[in-house]
Structure 1
Amino acid sequence: MPREAPYLRVAAALRTRVEAGEWAVGDKLPSRARIAEEYGVGQSVAQRAMERLIIEGILEGRAGSGTYVRRPRERLRMVRCRDREHGAGSSFRADMRKRGRAGTWESRSAARTPAPIHIAQRLAIEPGDLCVVTHYEFLADGLPAQLSESWEPMAITDGTPIVLPEMGPHAGAGVVERMRSIGVAIKTAVEVPRPARASQEQANLLGISVGDLVTQVERTYYDIEGRPVETADIVIPDVRWEIAYEFAVDQPGT
């Protein structure tokens, strides 16, 4: 097993002391030099440890004053709803709007990426078939909310204006609306949520600790013929978000 980075060890110790109530909300922490001396590390390590806890929302820095224990972040509900999946626009943005928050994202796409075996199985294509893979970092009011890795077969989108999901006239519209624009009608979305622990990369992007609990959602969209047209792996930090599924109930006579 690789040794834990010194700043993570210091951050874990400080986190434990805050959680134990040694410092209450609003209390000022000792100086960086004092913490470095106490844990036998350099001041740069102590600074990085404190910055880690600031990212996690445990501490807050006040310019010219120091570092303080902040009020714990609220754990919010993220609703995944059939109606929003089938409406126009991004379902994430729609859900954040209902929470009173601004939903935005950053993305990067790579075309002509061979499908690995597990993705090929989910998309009912051959391993190595060319896809566009897009990595997303979703933000709520500018703070990390979830990650997503999305795969779309180029056999469906190549040569169309939507081949790159976040470029062209339908950028930001969401999978359902984008596919509709090229005549592909999505009928169903299947989601499989699983508990997992954050990897180093996921923790860095989400501002949480390595090994923190996350929910991984495997989502696949199917068209009216039952053909898979997109699949994604979504990662949501459990410390900040609980996931709820909302379903419409058909009324008699409708």
Structure 2
Amino acid sequence: MAAADLAQYRQFADRIRQRILAGEWKPGSALPPPEELAREGGCDLAVVEVALRELAVEGIVEGRMGAGVYFTGLTRRAVTRVMQPGGGSVAPAFEDGRATAYTHETTTVTADRHVAQRLAVDIGADVMRTTYECTSGGRPYALITSWEPLHLTGGTPIVFPEEGPHAGKGVLARFAAIGLPAIRVNEDLVPRGVTTDEARLLNVARSALVTVVERTVFGAEHPLEAADTVLPAGVVQPHYITRPDA
């Protein structure tokens, strides 16, 4: 495909995303036929078809045999992150309260340079890594990797984030339970291209972009956790709510 054609279909796909975000189509509703979308957009039918295939790969729309193309309901101002140092949640959740699920895997690894810098530990220090694959309606929407320093959690009830008496309670509540309350949460939003593994797990195109939310949770003396949340751009987007301390 020529560069001009590639740019045109991506622009058309972006316009469809914006119309969806604006609420023009409700989840489960049919989009206009491709021929009508082409007339409205002033572009070739081939451009529309390629753009719709791209959106289908991202999970935004789905084709139904003999029935047209439908909006799945996945794309919207989707992920809310509540920022409240010392309490609240920093986990992603859909702001409309839709049901979500996740799978996880926890293992002990050694810190590479990137993780060591964020956790203020030596390169090669033992850390507990937990990876999460998050889904909504069976569709993947986020990948999370969390690292916690074992010199703080080893031998405590929270050493395994998803096991024990504090399983699944979130990093702020878990560390507070062992006398290490969080005093600050830093997050950086980093746009980049998707990796091959991320594209496979998120079911997006190899050319897709992602937003990585790089989070570090700090205690009074040591960083408590570092985590990266990978969100497919155009499918979900982070939305922040700040709750000031009373």
SS in 2 for 1:178: helix
Cα distance 1:79–1:53, how it changes in 2: closer, same or farther (>3 A)? closer
Q: Secondary structure at the match of 2:169?
A: coil
Match of 1:234 in 2: 229
Aligned match of 1:70: 70
Matched residues, number: 207
2:61 counterpart of 1:58:
yes
Residue 155 of structure 1: aligned partner: 151
In structure 2, the gaps of 5 or more residues are 1-5, 17-29, 35-52
Which letter maps to 2:63?
E
Residue matched to 2:47 = none
1:84, distance to aligned residue in structure 2 (A):
8.6
Deviations 1:120-179 (A, max 9, x none): 011111000001111111223432121111111111111122211111221111111111
1:125 pairs with 2:121? yes
How do 1:110-149 residues align onto structure 2 when only pairs under 5 Å count? 110-111=107-108, 113-149=109-145
Secondary structure in 2 aligned to 1:162?
coil
- Deviation of the 1:196 alpha carbon: 0.8
Native 8 Å contact 2:186 2:216 kept in 1: yes
Q: Is the 8 A contact 1:217 1:234 kept in 2?
A: yes
What is the alpha-carbon root mean square deviation over aligned residues?
3.2
- Do the aligned residues in 2 keep the contact of 1:138 with 1:144 (CA within 8 Å)? yes
- The separation in 2 between residues aligned to 1:132 and 1:67, in whole angstroms, is 48
In structure 1, list runs of 5 or more residues that go unmatched: 1-11, 29-49
1:85-126 Cα deviation digits (max 9, x unpaired): 822x6733xx43x41211321110112x11101110111110
Do 1:85 and 1:91's aligned partners in 2 also have CA atoms closer than 8 Å? Answer: no
Which of 203, 208, 212 is 1:212 aligned to?
Answer: 208
Distance in 2 (CA, whole Å) between partners of 1:150 and 1:91 is: 11
* Equivalent position amino acid for 1:164 in 2: F
Structure 1 residue identity aligned to 2:102? W
What SS does the aligned partner of 1:220 have? strand
**Equivalent position of 1:248 in the other structure:** 243
Distance 1:85 1:139, change over 3 A: farther
Q: CA 1:138/1:72 → structure 2, altered by over 3 Å: closer, same or farther?
A: closer
CA distance in 2, matches of 1:84, 1:146: 23
Stretch of structure 1 that moved more, 137-146 or 116-125: 137-146
Offset of 1:53 from its aligned partner? 3.4
Q: How does 1:30-109 map to 2 (within 5 A)?
A: 53=56, 56-61=59-64, 68-71=68-71, 73=73, 74-83=75-84, 86-87=87-88, 91-92=91-92, 95-96=93-94, 98-109=95-106
Percent identity, please: 32
Normalised to the residue count of structure 2, the TM-score between the two structures is 0.72
In structure 1, what is the Cα distance between the partners aligned to 2:187 and 2:90?
17
Q: Which residue of 1 aligns with 2:41?
A: none
